[in-house]
Every structure is written in C-alpha cells, then in structure tokens.
Amino acid sequence: MRELHDLVVGLAVEAADLARTRREAGVDIAASKTSIVDIVTEADREVERLVVDRILAARPDDGVLGEEGTSVAGTSGLTWVIDPIDGTVNYLYDIPAYAVSIALVEGDPDPATWRGLSGAVVNGATGERFEALRGHGARLDGREIRVADAVDPAVALVGTGFGYDAARRSRQGAVLQGLIGEVRDVRRGGSAALDLCFVAAGRLNAYYETGLNPWDMAAGALVVEEAGGAVRGWRGEPAGTGFLLAAAPALADDLAAILEPLRANEV
C-alpha cells in the first residue's frame, strides 16, 4: 500500500501544480452543470484528464470516478475517486482555497459502503499537502495531525457548505439558522475536501454538509478518521451523499443531537 499511497500523493501534488499554473494564466468558465452557478472550468477538465491518464497508465485494472465525468469500472476491486479542483468557485475568484482531492477506495464507488485506503488533498494555491494512509495516521506537509479535542458545542467552530441548487441551499440555510446560536461560529470555506482536512488538523472543530458528492469527501474523510476523528451520517449511519458530519467523536455525537431535529427543515 505504501507504494500506492506515494502514487496518490504524487499525482495530487502534480495535479495541484497544474491547477495553480492555469489559475495564474487566468480562468474561464467552460460550462455550467446542474445550475447556472455550478460551473466547470477548462482547468477542471485538464486536471482530471492528467490524473486519469496517469492512473490508467499505471493501474489499468483499477476503476476511476471523477467529478468531470470519468467513470471507469475496474476489475481489481479498487477505485480512484478524483475531484480535480474542489472549491471551483474559489478557483474562479482566485480565493486561495481550492484543492485537488484524490482517494483510493476499496469496494463499490459508494461512500456509504466503500473503505478508503489512501487519500491526498493538496491546496493548489498554498501547496499545503494533507494525506492519510489507512492505519498509518494523517499528515500535513509530512507532520502528523490530530483532530482537536472534543469541546462543548457552544465553543465549537463549525464548517459547512451549500449545494448549487437554489431550493436545496435555502433548506440548508434553514438548518444553519437553527445551529448558529448553539455554536461558537460557522465557517463556509468553499472546499469540502479542505474543510475536512481542517477538521483533521484542528483548524475547525467540526464540519457537516448535506448532499456532498463522493469525490468531495473521499480523501478528506479518510484524513479525518486517520487523525482520530469520527465521520458519520444521520443517526449513526455511515457518512454518505445524504449527510456527512466530521468531528472528534464526542463532539460529533453532541452536534448530531442538535442537527438531527433541524433536519426536518431539509428533506
């Protein structure tokens, strides 16, 4: 696994360099996806192509799932899950919080059932490199990281995010309205992968979001778990595209107890 992990990290670093180079040259929107605000840039596509080409050359039997349309069913039981630029809107506006996220998972490409084996999230703007190999801890630029100790929700700094669909976003806002008086404060960083890594590094006490895509969470969730955190869904179910909550285990329980009744606002 160590060799595969080196490949995961090496690819994420190379891809993040390409994303930064393209950002420096200027960014154009290539197309809209699910809504007018859900955009893809040429750089998203180019970065995904680079990563997929490298994977298929090195690991022809593995599956590949990428945000910008790659879907290759492998035969090895391993799947690479890629977000070429997580934080695409930050990227468009040159806000230095966008990242390449690459994970290697075992099992079907479904976050509720897969087992993350290796993951890397590299911030293209700052070069910060978060990585985790199952059973071997989580690291930021080579130094081991741990989630912050559990705190009372009243002093917890909580990250979250919103989907691109206007109706969903309004429902997410209603949940947030119920939460914000119960916690220290809230951050919306704009990259789920980095938000998860920030939990792993103790920069956020917790992060939650409904409606994430598999590629937003694959690498970051493993980084949190390997940093000693819990990553869960509603009512102790596994985290998935429905809901994901990440924090130190005791804080995750306390925040779930606050968020679950609010969920009635968000179906």
Find where tokens 């107890």 sit: 257
C-alpha span between 74 and 182 (Å, rounded): 45
Question: Closer to ligand IPD at the Cβ: 67 or 151?
Answer: 67
User: For ligand IPD, which residue of 66, 119, 153, 163 counts as binding (CB under 6 A)?
Assistant: 163
199, two tokens: 């939990």
- Yes or no: say if 16 and 99 are a contact pair by the CB < 8 Å rule: yes
Question: Closer to ligand IPD at the Cβ: 163 or 240?
Answer: 163
- Yes or no: say if 233 and 149 are a contact pair by the CB < 8 Å rule: no
Question: Closer to ligand IPD at the Cβ: 150 or 158?
Answer: 158
> x/- string (CB under 6 A) for ligand IPD, residues 142-161?
-------------------x
Name which of 193, 251, 202, 255 is nearest 227 in CA terms: 202
Q: What strand order describes the sheet that includes 157-160? A: 185-187, 157-160, 206-210, 243-247, 230-232
Q: Looking at the chain, how many residues does it have?
A: 267
List of residues 6+ apart from 65 with CB closer than 8 A = 71, 72, 79, 80, 81, 82, 109, 214, 215
The interface region with ligand IPD, picked from 1-9, 57-65, 73-81, 82-90 by CB under 6 A, is 82-90
Of residues 206-245, which lie at the interface with ligand IPD (CB under 6 A)? 209, 212-213, 216
User: Closest distance between ligand IPD and the C-beta of residue 86, in Å?
Assistant: 4
Question: What's the longest Cα–Cα distance across the chain?
Answer: 51
Q: Site size for ligand IPD, by CB under 6 A? A: 15
> x/- string (CB under 6 A) for ligand IPD, residues 164-203?
--------------------------xxx-----------
> x/- string (CB under 6 A) for ligand IPD, residues 87-126?
xx--------------------------------------
Question: Closer to ligand IPD at the Cβ: 134 or 169?
Answer: 169
Binding site for ligand IPD (CB under 6 A): 67, 83, 86-88, 161-163, 190-192, 209, 212-213, 216
